[in-house]
Amino acid sequence: MVTKATSLLSSQAKVFPIKRKTPKLIINILSDLFRYERPEKIQFDRGKEFANQKTIPSYT
C-alpha cells in the first residue's frame, strides 16, 4: 500500500519528488493533496472484488 501510494504521489507531484517515503510524510502529503484537489479517480488494486457486486438497497 505504501509503495503504491508513493508511486501515485511521485507521479502526481507538482513541486518536488518524494525522496523520504515515510508513512507519516505520506499521510501529510495525502491530506494536503485532498484538501485542495479532488481527484477524479485513484486506482488501487484493492476493491476490485467489490466492483461486480450489486448495491444493497436502503430500507430507511
pLDDT at 49 (0 to 100): 58
DSSP 56: P
Q: What 3-state class would DSSP assign to 60?
A: coil
pLDDT tens across 8-32, in order? 555 655 555 667 778 888 888 778 7
pLDDT at 20 (0 to 100): 75
Maximum CA extent, the chain: 49
pLDDT at 25 (0 to 100): 83
